[in-house]
């Protein structure tokens, strides 16, 4: 229902909040991971977690998109109607 400057400011605030949360989550997980393995294992743990993160970043939007388009086709269903 918004438009113009108000819409732009709201979208910007939402974007800033999203980025702050993403960086906080990433940093927090780095700290937890740093403490949870020994120094000799730190490189391997970091590599495994980076690979897993990239994999899920690639799969996430595709899986979400197909789920969304599937739900759009069954507007009157009992389960997942139109999401
Ligand atoms: C990572 O962990 C080591 C000990 O396990 C600690 O000395 C170091 O300060 C930690 N680094 C960070 C950024 O927390």
37 lines ligand 1 (CB under 6 A): no
Nearest atom, ligand 1, residue 39 CA: 5
How many Å apart are CA 36 and CA 24, to the nearest integer? 18
Would you give the distance in Å from CA 72 to the centre of its chain? 22
Structure tokens at 13: 């605030």
Name the DSSP letter for residue 81.
S
Mean pLDDT, range 22-41, rounded to an integer: 93
- CA 41–ligand 1 middle distance (angstroms): 13
Q: In the chain, where does DSSP find H-type helix?
A: 4-36, 42-73
Q: What average pLDDT does the structure give for the chain?
A: 92
Beta strands in 1-83 (DSSP E): none
In this structure, the residue with its CA closest to atom 14 of ligand 1 is 31
- CA 58–ligand 1 middle distance (angstroms): 30
pLDDT digits (tens, 9 = 90+) for 48-74: 999 999 999 999 999 999 999 988 888
Would you place residue 37 in the very low, low, confident or very high pLDDT band (cuts 50, 70, 90)? very high
- pTM beyond cutoff 0.75: no
């Amino acid at each position: 229902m918004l438009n113009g400057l108000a819409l732009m400011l709201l979208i910007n605030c939402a974007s800033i909040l999203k980025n702050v949360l993403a960086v906080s989550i990433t940093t927090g997980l780095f700290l937890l991971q740093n403490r949870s393995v020994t120094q000799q294992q730190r490189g391997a743990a970091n590599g495994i977690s980076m690979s897993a993160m990239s994999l899920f970043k690639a799969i996430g939007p595709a899986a979400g998109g197909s789920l969304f388009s599937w739900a759009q086709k069954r507007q009157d269903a009992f389960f997942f109607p139109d999401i």
